[in-house]
Amino acid sequence: MNPGAAANAAGPSAVASATAAPVLDVSGLTITVRGEEGEREVVSDLSFTLARGETLCIAGESGSGKSMTSLAVMRLLPKPAARIASGAIGFAGKDLAGLDERAMQAIRGNRIAMIFQEPMTSLNPVLSIGRQLIEAIETHTDLSRREARQHAVEALKAVRIPEAESRLGQYPHELSGGMRQRVMIAMALALQPDVLIADEPTTALDVTVQGEVLELLRDLQRRHGTSIILITHDMGVVAEMADRVIVMRNGRMVEQGKVGDIFEAPTQAYTRELLAAVPRMGTGAARGEAEAPAPAAPDAVASVRDLTVRFDRHGGFLGRVTHRVHAVEGVSFDIRPNETLALVGESGCGKSTTAKAIAGLVPFTGSIAVNGRDFAGLSREALKAVKRDVQMIFQDPYASLDPRMRVGDLVAEPMLIHGIGSAAERRERVAALFERVGLRADQMELYPHEFSGGQRQRVCIARALALRPKLIIADESVSALDVSVQARVLELLKELQQEFGIAYLFISHDMAVVENISDRVAVMYLGQIVEMGTRAQVFGDPRHPYTRRLIEAVPIPDPARRRGNFARLVSEIPSVTRPLGNEPQRLRLADVGDGHLVVAEAV
């Protein structure tokens, strides 16, 4: 076995030196935030070290101070509201807490890089992906523009972005949430930093890409000895990646230790609560299993038949349509009252586009009916009444909340649009909704930027519940939540389903969550459903090789069962963009053995 293989077999700790001086030494870090009531501490007296080649995971609930700690190391705390009140951040013989901005710029992005939690707020919306990536490479290297461009293409290919060359000309809004996150990861990895801070780097990614990204991070450690601070609420990822773990709550460290010790014998009650809340594969089978509904369900809340969604691509001097993106091709399914249909698949497979079509947000061909009323032929007012029964929880909470409005008004807005209740009645319902999703009623007066990512998603869930709809489309609705809050929100969704008979179209890349909440599962690949059945059928006896690959990719929350290399597609993901007039060919995945899959045209 070669040294790299030996390191991988032993885990990341095999490349970390226990005796070498730490790469990063944080001592007594205290961060304060100034508000209307004066300054308050959001991180209190935090100390830790990071060794070369080590992965340190920081876990805890939203608002525990994890992200503020990472921003302090990067010297990116929002000014003037937040500041480092005391403490030192030692790196390369310097105290980062006292460096001026010019000196910090030489370190930030080059020697210490960061992958942020919300890619849409981290990428410049008016600059192309290529310009942002190439400028970052040129700033910190001596590469020519041509060499930097090629380096950018290779970085995008490394995180499995198809058509990497053409993606350079696209803008952030043209990519899915998962694709945007892959771009952020490519930008961080391109310069091979000494320290990589990854703030929820796989939150927006499906499990297959997550597995490959985690393998990319491990490979970076093996080749360059990169030290990683991984901030995550996914305890499966912690078990997969960590050498050591820090557990934080309310700005303070409550426990730290080796990953095996934390999982096997946590000393603090809060740590035990976090581990108990982790969804685990196999527990969903304990729930009662309903029979699969008939192909045509007369009482269906939503019926979708031969749904097809295509987007035009313009090119050439005259800007004519030259290509079409075949986002969804011939998708059909029913959703009954009190049923949860989970839609799973990789980013870009068409899950979110399917959801947007049902919500009436994108043009489509085929048939969509809600409560027996087909969208086709309805007047504007009639369509508005139908859409009242369909509400959506979007993937990116920050992008779906108006930053100029108070969150209480945002939750009340759907009721105002549909003329429901008086102002006092609306406010009373909003306060009750806040309590049910784990927020306080006094937080109704705050603005979206004053919440953490997980808290913003809870606001979005409350807004979706405001009209008491018949169908809720939850597009990665719990992906931004830490495990304890996630468990409470999932339980809330189940309670609401039993109370009101709500149906859910549940879109998620977290297969453990899907197994625990779904009644039926539909697996999508390249805009098509390749497998659909009851939860027991899909998870207990998956027929399609792609479905098996999704299930095998789920990280196991047990460090003793840490996986080795992750099996991946041998061929490049085929493009769903076709020249005008070229009808799509159905694609399939062929299993060539050893867990490897290749893409092949269907016969």
Smallest Cα–Cα separation from 522: which of 362, 352, 348, 343? 343
- What are the E-state strand segments in 371-487? 373-374, 390-393, 471-475
Tokens of 374: 């087909």
Per-residue confidence band for 70, with pLDDT thresholds at 50, 70 and 90? very high
Q: Which amino acid is at 593?
A: G
0.75 cut: is pTM over it? no
Q: List Cβ neighbours of 576 (8 Å cut-off, separation of 6 or more).
A: 325, 326, 327, 348, 526, 527, 584
Q: Which amino acid is at 455?
A: Q
Q: What is the pLDDT of residue 110?
A: 86
Beta bridge partners of 598: 590
SS3 at position 104: helix
Per-residue confidence band for 55, with pLDDT thresholds at 50, 70 and 90? very high
Tokens of 135: 């400028």
Give the pLDDT confidence of 164-216 residue by residue, as tens digits: 898 999 998 888 766 787 888 888 888 888 999 998 887 667 777 777 778 87
Exposed / middle / buried, residue 256 (Cβ in 10 Å: 0-12, 13-18, 19+): middle
C-alpha to C-alpha distance for 6 and 396, rounded to whole angstroms: 39
Smallest Cα–Cα separation from 70: which of 228, 217, 179, 226? 228
Task: Specify whether the CB–CB gap between 351 and 524 falls below 8 A.
Answer: yes
Q: What are the distances in angstroms from CA 575 to CA 349, 364, 409, 588?
A: 11, 20, 42, 13
Residue 34's Cβ-side half-sphere holds a number of Cα atoms within 13 Å equal to: 9
User: What mean pLDDT is predicted for residues 503-510?
Assistant: 90
Smallest Cα–Cα separation from 302: which of 492, 495, 473? 473
Q: Which amino acid is at 115?
A: I
The answer to whether residue 408 scores a pLDDT higher than 90 is yes
The answer to whether residue 354 scores a pLDDT higher than 50 is yes
SS3 at position 70: helix
| Strand pairing class (112-115; 390-393) | unpaired
Give the pLDDT confidence of 547-569 residue by residue, as tens digits: 888 888 888 888 888 766 554 54
SS3 at position 171: coil
Give the pLDDT confidence of 231-271 residue by residue, as tens digits: 987 788 899 899 999 999 999 999 999 999 999 999 999 99
Question: All domains of the chain, ordered by start, with CATH?
Answer: 20-120+194-276 (3.40.50.300), 296-590 (3.40.50.300)
Q: Is the peptide bond before 80 cis (omega within 30 degrees of 0)?
A: yes
